[in-house]
Amino acid sequence: MKPNAAWAGMARLGASALAILALASPALAGDRALIDIIGYSESGQYFAFEEFGVQDGSGFAYSSIYIIDLHTDSWVVGSPFREQADDEGVSLSQIRAEVQLQAAPDLAGFGIDVPAEYAALIGDGAPGTDGQALRFGSPGYEPGNVSGDYELRLTTFATTAAAPCAEWFSVDPKGYQLVVADGDSERLIHRDGALPRSRGCPVTYRLYGVTLPFNAGSASDAVALISVYPGGFEGPNRRFIAVPLGL
């Protein structure tokens, strides 16, 4: 074989080997939790959802169920209910079943048995969306029949946090502000101060969706779901915040 041909062959082999290694090695990325809306209480005061996934780094499955008092915008006593595997052999479905069993008495006690529906949703696979604004109303029975026309507007800003974000992740934590517009009027729903330790060290936020109780007929019990991305072992993780809109 001529020298040039030999070098060319080696180069091709090297490129192939690198491609195989790239396929075999997982990309560094945080874990992206999913959400399952459990529902509302008949009175509309209580709302519950499950956040679940598989941790980056460890590969351990986890699940958390949150029950929220929408009147006080706070977790009820005992919430969230959490389970996490300590072995990769424990499946996500097993962990989810365990945390659902753990939360069942409280879900029943708060009467959370009204299904929820999405009034609006920004899907994770929707290209070209920045998740900073979302229009919604209350759906009617006929296609396109929507009562109300609201727009959520999300902004982020630097703030302080209880967690040592500079030490852990070399980041400045971000807080969020959420407003809702109704025609020419705009109302502040939430603006962060110093972040609680439970929030971790967020680097950004995105609007995910708006839920309503089944057959609500109005947006009075609407809940905004916000994706929050705190630092994780291999990059930012996705978690969720539920915010009552009080419409």
On whether residue 5 sits in a domain, the answer given is no
**Residue with tokens 């659902």, as numbered in its chain:** 100
Q: According to the model, what pLDDT value does residue 234 have? A: 79
CA 89, 91, 92, 94 dihedral sign is negative
Match 């072995």 to its residue by tokens: 87
Q: Is residue 9 one of the residues assigned to a domain?
A: no
Q: What is the DSSP letter of 60?
A: -
Question: Which domain-ending residue is among 114, 142, 177?
Answer: 114
- Provide the domain count of the chain: 2
pTM of the full structure = 0.86
Residues 152 and 177 in one domain: yes
Residues 70, 190 share a domain: no
Choosing from 91, 114, 137, the residue where a domain stops is 114
DSSP state for residue 197 in the 8-state scheme: G
> What pLDDT score does 107 carry?
98
Q: If you compute the radius of gyration of the chain from its CA atoms, what whole number of angstroms results?
A: 22
**Is residue 109 domain-shared with residue 120, that is, in the same domain?**
no
Residues 120 and 242 in one domain: yes
Peptide bond just before 213 cis, omega within 30 deg: no
In a domain, 13, yes or no: no
Q: Percentages helix, strand, coil for the chain, rounded to the nearest 5?
A: 20, 45, 35
Q: Classify residue 20 by its DSSP letter.
A: H
Domain boundary among 98, 114, 130: 114
Q: What is the pLDDT along the chain (247 residues), one digit of tens a residue?
A: 444 444 444 333 343 333 333 333 344 467 999 999 999 999 999 999 999 999 988 899 999 999 999 999 999 999 999 999 999 999 999 999 999 999 999 999 999 999 999 999 999 999 999 999 999 999 988 888 899 999 999 999 999 999 999 999 888 999 999 999 998 899 999 999 999 999 999 999 999 999 999 999 899 999 999 999 998 877 899 999 999 999 8
Which two tokens mark 45? Answer: 């005061």
At 19-66, the pLDDT tens digits run 333 333 344 467 999 999 999 999 999 999 999 999 988 899 999 999
Q: Note down the domain range covering 56.
A: 28-114
Residues 139, 226, single domain; the answer is yes
